[in-house]
Structure 1
């Protein structure tokens, strides 16, 4: 009868090999890591850390006649999503659920 919980021999060998590789790998000296990070003042070594001298332009769209700002989540919602009005404050259905 076959033991289906037992690992296949090829899987067991690959797990043992990878465990040996982890054990034999040399970990970096913590002080060298700190020195490397301290030496990187401009963020050149950080992926995506490039500084761009570009101006960000954002087009603002005024609130529409059929929109409101929920006073709980501060998201702009369509008036059909008003669940409760308390004085001048309107609350959306998601926040009131």
Structure 2
């Protein structure tokens, strides 16, 4: 039996085809009041017992190697084996290409 998926279906839930009252022309917009507590504000997150005030963090940055490329979609440095396509827009990794 062939089914016409483009044909209008009868609503099985028993709802009506009327628009929502909020969407009708000339309907007054409803406003919502937000109940915010002072405790809802964001505060800095600190790990218990972790005092990093005297610490100095150092990071060594390694430049892109000859066998690596930077994907022009996700901007991650990938190994050449992950190269899916390289064109006018630049190299694209396998994850971003599809």
Normalising to structure 1: TM-score of the pair?
0.48
Q: Greater helix share, 1 or 2?
A: 1
